[in-house]
Chain A
Amino acid sequence: MITMHPSFEMLRPGKKFPTVWCPGCGHGIVQGAIIRAVQKLGIPRDQMVMVSGIGCSSRMPVYVDFNSLHTAHGRAIAFATGVKLHNPKLHVIVITGDGDALAIGGNHFIHAARRNVELTVILLNNNIYGMTGGQYSPTTPIGKRASTAPYGTAERDFDPCALAVAAGAVFAARGTVFGVVELEKMIQQALAKRGFALVEALSPCPTLYGRLNREGNAVKMIQWQKENTINAKAAAKLPPEKTAGKIITGVFHDAEVTPYTEVYQGIIDKAQGQKQ
C-alpha cells in the first residue's frame, strides 16, 4: 500500500507552493510539526485560526488551510486577542518571529501572557530579521554579526520562555527543528492548554544568520543544534561544566490558571445579573 504525503490535506487549496522561505530555512519544518499536531489532536480546521505578524515566519498562515490573519509588524498577538475574545470557540495559533514578538511586539507578548489569553504562540526564533536582510533582533546573541551589527552586536539577548513565564504564561517550552519530534509534542501540549502557551522553536536561518556568522549551510546549522542543545531533564543531572554554553530545551513551565475568556464570561454573567 503506497500513501500520499499526510500533510497535503492541510495545505491551502489554490495556493502555489513551495513556500516563500529560502532553501533550508527551518520555518517549513516547524510548519510541518504544527500541521501534524493539529491533525493528531483532531481539531476541525474550520475552528483553527492562524494569526501572524510580519517577517519570514509570519508568511506561514497563507499556506495552511485554516482561517488566517496575516497582520502588521508586531501586532499578531493583539489581533489574536480580539479573535479569541470575540469567539472563544476558535483555536487561535499565533505564528511570530523573534523580532516580531519580542522587539516591536514585546509589549503585546507580555500583556497577553499576563491576561492568560488562550493563544498558542509559536515563536520561530532564528536570531535575526530574515525578511528584511539580516538585521539583529532581541535574540541575536551578543557579539554575533548582523547587517546592522557588522562588528557584532553590543546587546544582550533575552530568553523568551523565561520572559513569558515571568509575565504569566501557563506553558512555556523550547524545541528545535532538529528535534522536530519533540517539537511536535510540545506544540500538541501547547494547543491543548487553556491559557497563554508559548513554544519557542529554534529555526535556523542559513541564508542570513548562517552566512553572516560563518555557521555554514542548513545542514551544518541543524547539526549544530544537535550538538549544542540539551534537554532540561538531562541537563539537571549533568555537572555545570557539561552544560555551559549549551541551549536548554524542553518544557519549562506547565500550570493551570483559569483562562481569560472564562474569567470574562464571569464578568458577563455578573453584568447580566445586575441588569434591571
Chain B
Amino acid sequence: MAKNTTVEAARAEIERDFQAGYDLPVYVYKPWCKSCEICVALCPKRVLEMGEDRKPVVARPADCIQCRMCELHCPDLAVFVTKEKG
C-alpha cells in the first residue's frame, strides 16, 4: 500500500538514497506508488518490471534511453528518470 508522506519527506528520503550512491537511471519512490503498472507497460525498452511487492523495479538499467515515458505517465510522481539524456 501507498504510505502518506509529504514532498519534503520524500525529497529527504530520495536525497539520502542518492548520497548513499544510488546510480540507476530510474528511481521509484515506493511510498507513493499505487502499483498501477503503467510505467512498466509504457516503457519501450522494458527497463521496468513489477517486483514481488507489486512495485516496479529497475530490472534492465542498461537499456534505459531516458525517454521519460515512465515519468511522464506515472500518475503519482513516484517514478522518475535520474539522468539527463545524452
Contacts and interface: CB of A to CB of B under 8 A. Distances in A.
Per the CB under 8 Å rule, do A and B touch in the complex? yes
Contact of B35 (A13, A23, A181): A23
Given A4-B11, A11-B7, A18 B38 contact: no
A223 to B, nearest CB: 7
B34 to A, nearest CB: 4
Contacts of A28: 74-77
Given A3-B83, A29-B75, A12 B36 contact: no
Contacts of A151: none
B80 A32 contact: no
A141 interface: no
Nearest to A6: B80
B53 interface: no
B41 A219 contact: yes
Contact of B77 (A1, A5, A22, A26): A5
B36 A219 contact: yes
A18 B32 contact: yes
Given A4-B14, A218-B38, A26 B75 contact: yes
Interface in B51-86: 71-78, 80, 82-84
Contact of B5 (A17, A31, A223): A17
**Most chain A beta-carbon neighbours within 10 Å: one of B6, B15, B38:** B38
25 contacts: A2-B23, A2-B82, A3-B84, A5-B27, A6-B80, A8-B7, A11-B77, A12-B7, A15-B6, A15-B7, A16-B4, A16-B6, A17-B5, A17-B6, A17-B7, A18-B4, A21-B75, A24-B37, A24-B38, A29-B72, A32-B75, A181-B72, A219-B41, A222-B42, A223-B41
Interface of B: 2, 4-8, 10-11, 14-15, 18, 22-23, 27, 29, 31-38, 41-42, 71-78, 80, 82-84
Given A2-B22, A24-B36, A218-B36, 15 more contacts: A3-B82, A3-B84, A5-B80, A7-B77, A8-B11, A16-B4, A17-B77, A18-B34, A18-B78, A25-B75, A29-B74, A32-B72, A180-B72, A218-B37, A218-B38
